[in-house]
Amino acid sequence: MLLGGFATGVLAMSSGMAIGVLLATSGGSALILSIMILHYLLGLRHSILFGTSAAVTSVNALMLYVLRRRTSRGAVKPAMWFTLPGLVGMGVARTIAHAVSTPTRMALLGLLMVANTLISFILPKKTESFPVIRRKRLALAGCAIGIIVGYFGGAGGFLALPSMLITGLPQNLALGSSTLTVAGFSLVATLRDILHAAVNWAIVIPYIAGAWAGVFMAGHWLGLTSSLKLLQRTVTVLVLAAGVFLLQRHWLSLYMPSIALYDGIKGGLLHEFTD
């Protein structure tokens, strides 16, 4: 048992180190990969998966913001306009009773990961020296994403960046703002899961320690100021592949309800127009 715990800790630290390198060199898009590592590599069961993922994501997102604070000046204000309504949306989603199974949640998460990656290719990557912050758009988008996060925990926070870009926020602000938003969403999700003992600290601590080590190594060997396009593209491909993998693995949990819904609508229409 002791050897197994030690091996798990080493694996968690090594995985966190890899994520730290990706975060330092390619940005916040790598944050969503943690849930895949925790579930499929470290073997976390579903009951503690989302809570543990939220814990590591909140710390890593905040670390990423601190890491790039010089290039993220002015990111706090749009982050607040997005995050605070998002927290309200999270609260609303938590009060709605739902019977969404874990496989369905994972399939929906995969669908969102694929959509997020495809959207990122077509969204404009403009930058502005004096950007206009559209507060109403940010608030509405934040509330919508908060509702999604309420179902997926901190894992749903990866949708913050494309949502901010859709509202017209320039990329130079959206990158920093989204990391603060992800940290806020994940922290709130973590606090709730801590109360329900749904966080595996034996994995969280070495994973975060490894992420810090990975960030340090990336800064020392690769240079934090260098934009490594190869790594950025690699992360994009990994996120897309992870989304496709989740869809392939859990597609029946979406397919069967969809067929049932279609049959129900079709039967209702036939009854309406034939009787």
Q: How far is 219 from 211, CA to CA, in rounded Å?
A: 12
Please write the tens of the pLDDT for every residue from 240-263. Answer: 898 888 888 877 766 655 454 444
The 10 Å CB-count burial string (b at 16+, else e) for 172-206 is bbbbbbbbbbbbbbbbbbbeebeeeebbbeebbbb
Please write the tens of the pLDDT for every residue from 72-107. Answer: 677 888 889 999 999 998 888 877 766 666 677 788
Please write the tens of the pLDDT for every residue from 162-201. Answer: 888 888 888 878 888 888 898 888 888 888 777 777 788 9
Over residues 9-16, the mean pLDDT reads 91
Q: How far is 67 from 237, CA to CA, in rounded Å?
A: 24
Residue with tokens 């499929």: 40
Residue 211 near residue 37 (C-beta atoms within 8 A): no
Supply the pLDDT for residue 71.
67
Supply the pLDDT for residue 12.
92
Model confidence at 272, pLDDT cuts 50, 70, 90, reads very low
CA of residue 252 relative to chain centroid, distance: 23
Supply the pLDDT for residue 255.
60
Q: By percentage, how much of the chain surpasses pLDDT 90?
A: 13
* Model confidence, pTM: 0.79
Q: Is 223 left (phi over 0), alpha (psi -120 to 50) or beta?
A: left
What integer best gives the mean pLDDT of the chain?
78
Residue 181 near residue 163 (C-beta atoms within 8 A): no
Q: How far is 147 from 139, CA to CA, in rounded Å?
A: 12
Q: How far is 142 from 126, CA to CA, in rounded Å?
A: 21
What are the CB-based long-range contacts (under 8 Å, 24+) for 93-99? 93/146, 93/147, 93/148, 93/149, 93/150, 93/151, 94/150, 94/192, 98/151
Please write the tens of the pLDDT for every residue from 202-226. Answer: 999 999 999 999 988 876 665 544 4
Residues present in the chain in total: 275
Supply the pLDDT for residue 210.
94
Supply the pLDDT for residue 196.
74
Q: How far is 104 from 247, CA to CA, in rounded Å?
A: 9
Residue with tokens 């579903």: 46
Q: List the end-to-end C-alpha distance of the chain, in Å, as a whole number.
A: 67
